[in-house]
């Protein structure tokens, strides 16, 4: 393969968004080549299920709600203490030195608050951030461009930002 190591980005949606950011943190900490850019689509960025968006989703916003996230955490983490690991609890992590980032947020999503907090904290750490919240959307909207106009707009933002970062 003739890939260019100077043109690598990480992109992830939901749990994958949190994992993408964790990969960037691990690269930084191990002092290996850092991705040039990261796109985090409604990332799982915290373990606190008492945020405003978790409270708003307690009644059951489909396709994801507070109870669903509780199930995921219960089955993903070995113990609740693992939720404090900075690779899970990104909103409390050291974010200095991470690559420029686009964060896509969904309006009716238990992850909305932590996505915005992550964007704010990245900015405070000196990371260039493009945060976009799409009104009227739910978790998983990003892949529905054929039927959800906001998904097409979000995909355009993500691809435009990636193209600009990798040229």
How far apart are the C-alpha atoms of 35 and 24, rounded to whole Å?
6
Chain centre to alpha carbon of residue 87: 12
* Residues 24/10, Cβ–Cβ less than 8 Å: yes
**CB neighbours of 81 closer than 8 A, spacing ≥ 6?**
none
Residue of 38, 12, 13 lying closest to 25 (CA atoms): 38
Active-site residues, by number, are 14, 109, 139
Per-residue pLDDT tens digits for 27-54? 999 999 999 999 999 999 999 999 999 9
The reported pTM is 0.95
Output phi, psi for 74, to 5 deg. -60, -35
* Residues 75/15, Cβ–Cβ less than 8 Å: no
Per-residue pLDDT tens digits for 94-143? 999 999 999 999 999 999 999 999 999 999 999 999 999 999 999 999 99
């Amino acid at each position: 393969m003739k890939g260019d190591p100077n043109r690598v980005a990480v992109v992830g949606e939901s749990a994958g968004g949190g994992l993408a950011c964790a990969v960037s943190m691990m690269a930084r900490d191990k002092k290996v080549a850092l991705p040039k850019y990261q796109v985090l689509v409604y990332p799982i960025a915290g373990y606190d299920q008492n945020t405003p968006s978790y409270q708003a989703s307690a009644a059951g916003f489909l396709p994801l709600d507070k109870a669903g996230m509780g199930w995921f955490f219960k089955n993903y983490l070995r113990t609740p203490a693992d939720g404090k690991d900075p690779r899970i609890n990104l909103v409390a992590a050291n974010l200095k030195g991470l690559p420029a980032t686009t964060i896509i947020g969904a309006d009716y999503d238990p992850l909305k608050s932590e996505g915005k907090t992550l964007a704010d904290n990245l900015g405070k750490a000196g990371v260039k951030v493009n945060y976009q919240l799409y009104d009227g959307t739910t978790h998983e909207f990003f892949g529905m461009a054929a039927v959800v106009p906001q998904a097409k707009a979000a995909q355009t933002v993500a691809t435009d930002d990636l193209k600009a970062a990798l040229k």
